[in-house]
């Protein structure tokens, strides 16, 4: 489904600030995989997702999605394959536009925008039902601007938008990190439900090791721009947090910086 071959990402090339953030990533994700991604602060997790989405053009390597080479395609063209939820809840929606307008924009992801009405009556009914399922009280607030929503409501809405039309790839970048623990748990639960019900192929960056172990069928760990661990299936199921820390130390030769990684 997704194939990264020898992907390198450098920033500010030729300046004293030159950074080599991704150092030859090779990753092959199969259809239906739900991959959790962990790694220390600055390891390159977001950069890896941004390489896939085309937010940043990679400096070397190739990226294919569902067999087509997208390495040179701009972000807006790749969008038809990809649903996305960002870490910052404000990033996922247009805050001066209403809930239903945001949904309607996402409903047309990857399609040409015409001079037809931006939203139809039929859609509105559909959105109402979908929002009612979220059980966050959004189904009566279709006309409210998203700037008035809480972080959790926005992430739930963005998740819904990202899962429209069965995207080939769902990318989640620490999408619960900015939420309080209770809301985070609820959004995570919704995430798992959406991925499982729609049988999506997903990659989820998380700072919570427990979630990383509990959720999905495969786990990869990034360190200084390289994948240092890749565990899947039964092997992943048997793992616990101390094992993971142990494996990190062996693979990287360093100690995990525990400040940001939530161990429980």
Report d(CA 45, CA 238) in Å as an integer: 24
Q: In this structure, how many other beta carbons lie within 10 angstroms of the beta carbon of residue 135?
A: 11
Among 13, 57, 94, 263, binds other proteins (CB under 8 A): 94
Query: Which of the listed partners (other proteins, ligand ADP, Mg ion, none) does 108 bind, with a CB threshold of 5 to 8 Å by partner kind?
Result: other proteins
E runs forming strands in 133-187: 169-173
Q: Which residues contact 120 (CB under 8 A, 6 or more apart)?
A: none
Rg from Cα positions in the chain: 19
Torsion sign across C-alpha atoms 139, 166, 30, 47: negative
Query: Which of the listed partners (other proteins, ligand ADP, Mg ion, none) does 105 bind, with a CB threshold of 5 to 8 Å by partner kind?
Result: other proteins
Nearer to ligand ADP, 20 or 145 (CB): 20
Looking at 11-19, 98-106, 153-161, 194-202, which segment touches ligand ADP (CB under 6 A)? 11-19
Report d(CA 212, CA 219) in Å as an integer: 7
Q: Does 121 bind other proteins (CB under 8 A)?
A: no
Residue 89: is it exposed, middle or buried by C-beta count within 10 angstroms (0-12/13-18/19+)?
Answer: buried
Among 101, 173, 174, 211, binds other proteins (CB under 8 A): 101
Binding site for Mg ion (CB under 5 A): 46
Q: How far is the CB of 161 from other proteins (least distance, A)?
A: 8
Q: Does 173 bind other proteins (CB under 8 A)?
A: no
Q: Does 8 bind ligand ADP (CB under 6 A)?
A: no
Q: Does 106 bind other proteins (CB under 8 A)?
A: yes
Q: Does 229 bind ligand ADP (CB under 6 A)?
A: no
Among 45, 78, 109, 236, binds ligand ADP (CB under 6 A): 45
Report d(CA 174, CA 46) in Å as an integer: 9
């Amino acid at each position: 489904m997704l194939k990264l071959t020898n992907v390198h990402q450098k920033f500010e090339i030729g300046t004293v600030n030159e950074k080599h953030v991704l150092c030859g990533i090779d990753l092959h994700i199969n259809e239906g995989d739900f991959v959790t991604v962990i790694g220390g602060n600055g390891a390159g997790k977001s950069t890896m997702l941004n390489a896939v989405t085309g937010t940043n053009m990679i400096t070397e390597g190739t990226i294919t999605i569902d067999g087509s080479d997208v390495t040179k395609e701009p972000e807006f063209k790749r969008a038809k394959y990809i649903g996305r939820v960002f870490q910052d809840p404000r990033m996922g929606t247009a805050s001066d536009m209403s809930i239903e307008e945001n949904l309607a924009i996402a409903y047309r992801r990857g399609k040409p925008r015409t001079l037809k009405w931006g939203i139809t009556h039929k859609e509105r009914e559909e959105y109402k039902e979908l929002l009612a399922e979220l059980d966050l009280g959004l189904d009566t607030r279709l006309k409210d601007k998203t700037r008035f929503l809480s972080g959790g409501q926005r992430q739930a809405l963005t998740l819904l938008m990202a899962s429209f039309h069965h995207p080939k790839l769902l990318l989640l970048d620490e999408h619960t990190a900015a939420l309080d623990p209770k809301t985070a748990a609820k959004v995570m639960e919704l995430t798992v439900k959406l991925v499982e019900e729609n049988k999506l192929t997903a990659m989820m960056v998380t700072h919570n090791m427990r979630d990383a172990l509990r959720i999905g069928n495969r786990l990869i760990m990034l360190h200084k721009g390289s994948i240092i661990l890749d565990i899947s299936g039964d092997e992943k199921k048997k793992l616990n947090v101390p094992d993971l820390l142990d494996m990190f130390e062996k693979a990287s030769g360093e100690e995990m910086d525990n400040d940001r990684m939530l161990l429980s």
